[in-house]
Amino acid sequence: MSEISTLKKPLETAEEYVQSLRDMKTEIWALGEKITGIPDHPLFVPHVNAVAKTYEMPFPVKSHLTGHTINRFNHIHQSTDDLVAKVKMLRALNQQTGCCIQRCAGMDALNATYIVTYEIDQKYGTDYHERFKQFLVYLQDYNLVTIGGMTDVKGDRSKKADQQRDPDLFVHVVAEREDGIVVRGAKAHLTGVSGAHELMVFPTENMKEDAKDYAVVFSCPVNTPGITYIFGRQTNDGRKLDTEHPIDQGNFKYACVGGECIAVFDDVFIPWKDVYMYKEYEFAGMFVEAFATAHRQNYGACKGGIADVLLGATYGICKVNGVERVGHVRDKMADMINLTETLYAGSIACSYEGRPTPSGAWRADTMLANITKHNTTKFVYEIDRIAHDLVGGLLATLPAEADLRNPEIGPLIERYLAGNESMCTEDKIRLYRLVETLSGGTAVVESMHGAGSPQSQRIMMLRDAKLEEKLKLAQKLVDCEGACGGQ
């Protein structure tokens, strides 16, 4: 049982949230070291700050289960208005932080689990849905942070979970006990472990009966014994350790991306009350689709908010360089705006086209959500390319902050990197570092592969396109009867 479960009252402020992480004492391996003081370690402080912003800007909503006022990240969508409010919240938060908020996967996992547990119970008469609702009320009442663990490490991609040489390359049940189950395996790309209280785990692919031990969905505190977290390196993460020179970090208060980890489950015990699917293998694919749709819905909003910050920084550099009114500069900035708003329009569109599920929860339109994410895999790179074009080569050759602070050479930097009088040299340098942080490295990779690589969206788009129905539309228009009238 997590130490966080002993809380006497909900977490209300960012300070209370950060203290709750200290109390949990979650351990994460990073750069060859086991780190326990997560909220106070310079490698993780920016990630924790990003999540803390969701306590400073909580976007309150009424719980449909209790009627209590809760944080929207723990809400189950009840209408298209909820779906739209979700993406507006994400853009607003990303505008304030310029980075991944880290709670999206958890929010989407909660909604997917609510939808699918209802379906399982309807078929088998199980009580997964009620179990999950009890867990959900706990999260809502105490205002806790949940993250999602979907992607298994997969091993040989040509083989399914039960066909791997090493059976632990997908998370699976290795023992069934009277009081629960024991799981083993590993999940990759877990966003936000450093700032989370609870973890939702669910399958990563469709499954058949032979893989039923891999068809498992559960929740557990992130500090559950037996889970080992290994932090992934990020572009320029060494700069975070140089706390004397924050300018070189670019977005020094907040993270670049979500602080992803590999999570290794070594015979981890999960009590039955926290198990929401066990061996109902035919529902694994439904979990994947429900989660993927919800998560891909987000990307035009999240990346749109970050692009807003990038656009502002790029404009500021153009302004201090005296070129903000040049024709080709304005054209290129218009292109950045067009791409940004097109991404956001996709998130809004798939939300407004959302529909209710049998559970009563609403989900975004699957086709439009996949289109939104697929556009993200392309448009973000183009937005970043234009930013690089506009700010110029100094982005790659800028001296370090230590040089700026040096009494001998600092004045030279101040003099020879100066622009016009709209901004001092140091502020110009700060904007350059921010552009560097927002437009390269792991931040761009996450735009490509977060919520699934481009091919996964193409698969779902082709499936949902209903090509045979579209063929019939075309045939009807020209009085075509198919294969010569069926002869």
Q: Is 400 exposed, middle or buried (0-12, 13-18, 19+ CB in 10 A)?
A: middle
Please tell me what DSSP assigns to residue 172.
E
As to burial, measured by CB atoms within 10 angstroms (0-12 exposed, 13-18 middle, 19+ buried), residue 268 is buried
- My answer on whether 240 and 388 are in the same domain is no
List the one residue out of 287, 162, 178, 268 whose CA is nearest residue 224: 268
Q: What is the CATH number of the domain that holds 117?
A: 2.40.110.10
For residues 56 and 167, state if they share a domain.
yes
The active-site residue out of 261, 302, 318, 350 is 302
* Same domain (yes/no): 245, 383: no
Whether 486 is covered by a domain: the verdict is: no
In a domain, 165, yes or no: yes
Of 282, 317, 348, which one is at a domain's C-terminal end? 282
Same domain, 223 and 238: yes
Contact 370, 457 (CB under 8 A): yes
Please say if 302 is a catalytic residue: yes
Three-state DSSP state, 480 = coil
pLDDT at res. 313: 92
Residue 2 tokens, joined: 């997590």
131 and 212 fall within a common domain: yes
The answer to whether position 57 is within a domain reads yes
Catalytic residue (one of 77, 197, 295, 374): 295
Look up 104 and say whether it is catalytic: yes
d(CA 480, CA 462): 24
Provide the token pair at 97: 């932080």
Examine the residue annotation and report whether 446 is marked as an active-site residue of this protein: yes
Active site residue 100: yes
Shared-domain flag, residues 270 and 293: no
Half-sphere exposure of 55 (CA within 13 A, CB side): 22
| 290 half-sphere exposure, CB direction, 13 A CA radius | 32
With respect to residue 482, please indicate whether it lies within any of the assigned structural domains.
no
In terms of DSSP bridges, do strands 146-149 and 198-201 run parallel, antiparallel, or are they unpaired? parallel
Q: How many CA atoms lie within 13 A of 99 on its CB side?
A: 26
Nearest to 200 by CA among 219, 213, 187, 183: 219
Per-residue confidence (pLDDT) for residue 468, from 0 to 100? 74
Point out the domain boundary residue: 282, 299, 329.
282
Number of structural domains, the chain?
2
Distance CA(210)–CA(294), nearest Å, equals 28
Instruction: Report how far residue 391's alpha carbon sits from residue 148's, in angstroms, rounded to the nearest whole number.
Output: 37
Check if 480 is active-site: no
Q: Clarify whether residues 129 and 242 are in a common domain.
A: yes
Do 207 and 304 have their domain in common?
no
Euclidean distance between CA atoms 235 and 433, whole angstroms: 13
Collapsing DSSP to helix, strand or coil, 434 comes out as: helix
Query: What was the pLDDT predicted at 396?
Result: 86
Whether 176 is catalytic: no
Catalytic residue among 119, 260, 401, 436: 260
Residues 6+ away with beta carbon under 8 Å from 397: none
In whole angstroms, give the CA distance from residue 115 to residue 283. 11
Tens of pLDDT, residue by residue, the chain (487 residues): 344 456 778 999 999 999 999 999 999 999 999 999 999 999 999 999 999 999 999 999 999 999 999 999 999 999 999 999 999 999 999 999 999 999 999 999 999 999 999 999 999 999 999 999 999 999 999 999 999 999 999 999 899 999 999 999 999 999 999 999 999 999 999 999 999 999 999 999 999 999 999 999 999 999 999 999 999 988 778 888 989 999 988 888 987 777 889 999 999 999 999 999 999 999 999 999 999 999 999 999 999 999 999 999 999 999 999 999 999 999 999 999 999 999 999 999 999 999 999 999 999 999 999 999 999 989 999 999 999 989 988 988 899 999 999 999 999 999 999 999 999 999 999 999 999 999 875 555 455 546 666 667 777 777 787 777 877 877 777 777 765 655 4
Residues 367 and 457 both lie in one domain = yes
Note whether residue 410 is domain-resident: yes
Whether 8 is in a domain gets the answer no
| Strand partners for 190 | 261
Helical (H) or strand (E) element with 198: strand 198-201
In angstroms, the CA 320 to CA 309 distance is 17
Do residues 221 and 147 touch, judged by C-beta distance below 8 A?
Answer: no
Q: Which two tokens stand for residue 74?
A: 């723990």
Provide CB contacts within 8 A for 423, sequence distance 6+: 316, 319, 320, 431
In contact, 102 and 51? CB cutoff 8 Å: yes
- Distance (Å, whole) CA 93 – CA 199: 22
Same-domain status, 269 and 295:
no
Identify whether 131 is part of a domain: yes
> Of the residues 104, 256, 261, 350, which is catalytic?
104
191 is in an annotated binding site: yes
Tokens (6 digits) for 296: 């891909």
Set 299, 340, 377, 436: catalytic member: 299
Q: DSSP string of 371-409?
A: HHHHHHHHHHHHHHHHHHHHH-THHHHPPPHHHHH-TTT
**Rounded distance between C-alpha atoms, residue 31 and residue 51, angstroms:** 23
Q: Is residue 3 classed as helix, strand or coil in its secondary structure? A: helix
Domain C-terminal end among 251, 282, 313: 282
- Domain that residue 134 falls in: 15-282
Helices (H), 223-360: 284-320, 327-352
Neighbours of 356 (CB within 10 A): 14
Q: Are residues 324 and 276 in the same domain?
A: no
Residue 99 appears among annotated catalytic residues: no
The CATH number assigned to the domain holding 404 equals 1.20.140.10
Give domain status of residue 405, yes or no: yes
The answer to whether residues 247 and 153 belong to one domain is: yes
Radius of gyration from C-alpha coordinates of the chain = 24
54: helix, coil or strand? helix
8 burial type by CB count under 10 A (0-12 exposed, 13-18 middle, 19+ buried): exposed
Structure confidence at residue 470 (pLDDT): 77
